[in-house]
A and B are shown apart, each in its own frame.
Chain A
Amino acid sequence: MSVEFQNVVKRYGTAAAVAGISFTVESGTLVTLLGPSGCGKTTTLRMIAGLELASEGRILIAGRDVTSLGATQRDVSMVFQSYALFPHMSVLENVCYGLRRSGLARDEATKGAREGLATVGLAGYDERQPSELSGGQQQRVAVARALVLKPSVMLFDEPLSNLDARLRRQMREEIRELQQRLGLTVVYVTHDQQEAMAVSDRIIVMNAGRIEQQGSPRDLYERPATPFLARFMGESNPARGSVRRLDREQIVVRLSDSEVVVADSAAVDGEATVAVRPEAITVEVAPGPAGALPGTIAKASYLGTHMEYSIDTAAGALFATCPRVERPLKAGDEVALVLASRGVIVVQDQAT
């Protein structure tokens, strides 16, 4: 167990930024803290780093209680959103910094730093100034600088947010590859749900200072526990529907006049909030097959790879994506919606 939080609270004045959370991070895994801005994920990361001290609760790193220790005394290192490369030092001096402060002699530190730079593919950049590097290269220096300390846990605070979209995908693959190759324990903060799903072994979704749900990327996408999660992990349409249980494993979800059978072992009969994934809606020209949900297209947009439709139905306005771009529908067209069972999720217990 590399990191363990036990009922940790962080208060600023009277406001609680983190309102009592517990979780663990297994060694050698990459765990992402995901949530909208202001949810407390960065505060949580900074509490692992020791840059903020917890107001209540206990924090353990590698089995040691570090609750009242500052950042310097903890066996962690961090890659900052702004990279925080020291602008008055060369690339090599930057990477050496932590090793020197840990008490290594200059030669050993330089050797370690060179290895670190080679690991991230920046061998030969020793004497450059950070300001002479591109964003992606600066990012790699920051990673190397954190890496060479061989910490119990490495922290990434929104490391990709200053990169452009193309570089972002490349860097996140590099980080994941590095983490798996070296068996690093990583805690990663982002607000980008796609980024989180792409890099993580496990995701901890936070909202308003609490943990909303944690699990594998697939768990969270396919079985969101709350309406917030259904909205936050990918797109979804909230709708009111009713639930009728078929057997232990299956239920029938009814939206207006249309019914769909869904695998679910928890929901109880009655009214329920239902989340419908946009890709689970197949848009057919009316009248469509029996049991389809009739509707009218309110808005249609062409996005190259797919179409996006806003559709008014008796179950409310639904948003759908449709990969068939060769025969687009247009606003005002009458349609019938067929719901796929995998993208219909009952997210809230019946309001009884």
Chain B
Amino acid sequence: MPARRLTAVSVLALAAMCTAVAGCAEKKASSSSDDAVAVDAGDSACKVSRTSFPAGPVDLAVHNTGSKVTEVYVYGPGDRIVAERENIGPGTRAVVTAQLAAGTYEIACKPGMKGDGIRQKVTVTGAAGAAAQADPRLASAVAAYRAYVQQQADLSVPAVRAFADAVKAGDVAKAKALYAPSRVGWERTEPVAESFGDIDPKTDLREDGLEPGQQWTGWHRLEKALWKDGKAGAEEKALADRLVADVQDWRARVGKADITATSMANGAKELLDEVATGKVTGEEDRYSHTDLYDVNGNVEGAQKAYELLKPVAAAKDPQLAATLDREFATLRSLLAGYRQGDGYRSYDKVTQQERKQFSDAVNALAEPLSRLASAVAR
């Protein structure tokens, strides 16, 4: 939930942007059709006129030669969406412009606008670039993580909508029951959502994080209304709609998040940091005391990122991988002891001594986890 903290993910995103901008500045602002890469997007083919071009801005001159509406994507390493163009009708043309640093990319045509598309590998040469992604195991880890992040956002939309519907129906009991489950996908992948900067303050801000004049929206605003005030009035109903819209915005944009192996590893650590600072103390869900749902989501999301990076981490630093395996298992089994029915014990019923035990287990995991990024990067 930290709102104004510049996360490692966003720092990396900025760094990547700088590279792209620098690459852009070096090249003359040419987008003449001579330089354009022709893309022949048919129903069963995706032909590219050149598969190697210099770093900088690249124009893809797309011609839909098929019978279906199509779309064209440029994917960076790990299926990061670098550029896209949707709704290109049969027989029509469109130009997709992408800023490309050196590295390997895939151009995908998606006839019928679904699936992974028909893909063409292309190589961008020249200026400093994406050498860090040279390890194909890391690229596939990033791709799998990107799919996971998207899946979590996809699953969140109906869960949030169900929660919002209960709020709008004035059904406080039902809304309370759906509150924590609606947050699971978010909590699993929070650092990626936070990397956009503008989404987290709308969805997951706590009251003490408000700036003067800032309107308080999102989950915790509704949490307070439901638990503290025990009601859902007109304002809450409007805010429920707004939460749905903000979560949909997240879902629509999450595919463009700049994800690297390093940002995955740091994101996993940040999820544990979330637990260590805001959740072990019971601050996160101070009215609903559903903190342990969030903690479980954080730990699951961190473990997902780790498991995907593990083939590389275990090869480069087997001891670290063994430590992380052990500490993830310890924390997961500790959490399992707090399960109650479909959920978790209310955090206000967790004693100080038990919180200390959590804190110790989180530290035991987070400290070695803070070394995962360097283990996979070096």
Do A and B share a complex? Answer: no
